[in-house]
Amino acid sequence: MDTLHPLIDRFGREYVGRRMMLQARHSADVYGGYGRLRFHPENSELLPWLARVGLKVAGLAGRTRRNCLDYHVERREFRIRNLPAPFHGLRILHLSDIHSDAIPDRGERLIRLLQGLHGAYDLCVLTGDYRFQTSREYDTSLERLAPLLKPIYCPFGMIGILGNHDFLEMVPGLEALGVRTLVNESLHLERDGQRLWIAGTDDPHFYAAHDIARSLADVPASAPTILLCHSPEAYQEAALSGVDLYLCGHTHGGQLCLPGSLPLITNAAVPRRLVSGPWNVDRMLGYTSRGAGASGIPARLNCPPEVAIHTLTG
């Protein structure tokens, strides 16, 4: 109960109750499985085994595993309307889908990469999915996340949100690691008396717990706003709500892709152009990270993991 009281105080009894009921139902499905075969992809050893065998037969097992550590640094510029002058040139390190407890080298290479980016960004945002599994315990993911976040140092600190692999109870642990975690909340950065608003929703993909209106409730009308949302799936509502920049992940860019980065599975009900990289919907700009980690099995093909640095211009 010690974990729950601060959550209830912050998010309300009803919200915490609903999120945890969905988490419990999902965990029951994972443990109990569906139908007579009591099957669930996450408690099945068959599917990962089949995938591993398939990759091995295709001669791709070693390559797809090594690809998980072939981090690309993606750099983009985003022109934000009404961006206050003190924020022109603001650099945002964007990490997503770390799935920290399943990185083949336990994060050694990612840590070295992040150490090398010291001084290259002013703010770090994390768009969810810190854990590999979607149920069971989460302490291991937080323990493995800690050394990955240690090299991250910047004037505006780290701001994160939850993904569909993350339980609400992870919020205090994430905040103890220095990640201010927004759950349908917002905050503002301040420079020379000017403000840039960052809003963050809860997961829209599995828990459908995102509440964009609530996330933006404290944001003044027409103030420049960045929205962090785990999946691109809330893009329509965000565009109608006046969000300027929508940062997300979840899709892993497909993770296992055909040549030409063509995803076989996107795991998100969005147009293909929103599955990875920069996009726009009406006047709202967006960016979907391919993520730094992998889920299902530690394998990537034609879809390298990424760390992004976004620069804002006016």
Residues at the contact surface with Fe ion, assessed by CB under 5 A: 129, 163-164, 250
Question: By C-beta, is 134 or 215 nearer to Fe ion?
Answer: 134
Question: By C-beta, is 129 or 185 nearer to Fe ion?
Answer: 129
Residue 60 CB, nearest approach to Fe ion (Å): 24
Rounded CA gap, 62 and 277, in Å? 26
Residue 55 CB, nearest approach to Fe ion (Å): 22
Question: By C-beta, is 224 or 293 nearer to Fe ion?
Answer: 293
Which long-range CB contacts under 8 A does 218-226 form with residues at least 24 apart?
Answer: 218/186, 219/186, 222/82, 223/82, 223/195, 223/197, 224/80, 224/81, 224/82, 224/83, 224/84, 224/87, 224/196, 224/197, 225/186, 225/197, 225/198, 225/199, 226/92, 226/125, 226/196, 226/197, 226/198, 226/199
Q: Judging by beta carbons within 10 Å of its beta carbon (0-12, 13-18, 19+), is residue 250 exposed, middle or buried?
A: buried
Question: By C-beta, is 129 or 211 nearer to Fe ion?
Answer: 129
Question: By C-beta, is 152 or 268 nearer to Fe ion?
Answer: 268
Residue 27 CB, nearest approach to Fe ion (Å): 17
Residue 102 CB, nearest approach to Fe ion (Å): 13
Residue 79 CB, nearest approach to Fe ion (Å): 28
Question: Any residues with CB less than 8 A from the CB of 144 and at least 6 apart, and which?
Answer: 100, 101, 103, 106, 107
The pairing of strands 277-281 and 158-160 is unpaired
- CB-closest chain residue to Fe ion: 250
Rounded CA gap, 107 and 132, in Å? 13
Residue 59 CB, nearest approach to Fe ion (Å): 29
Question: By C-beta, is 90 or 102 nearer to Fe ion?
Answer: 102
Question: By C-beta, is 129 or 244 nearer to Fe ion?
Answer: 129
For every residue of 251-305, DSSP letters joined together read: SGGGSBEETTTEES---SSS-GGGSSEEEEETTEEEEE---SS-SSSS--BS---
Residue 207 CB, nearest approach to Fe ion (Å): 11
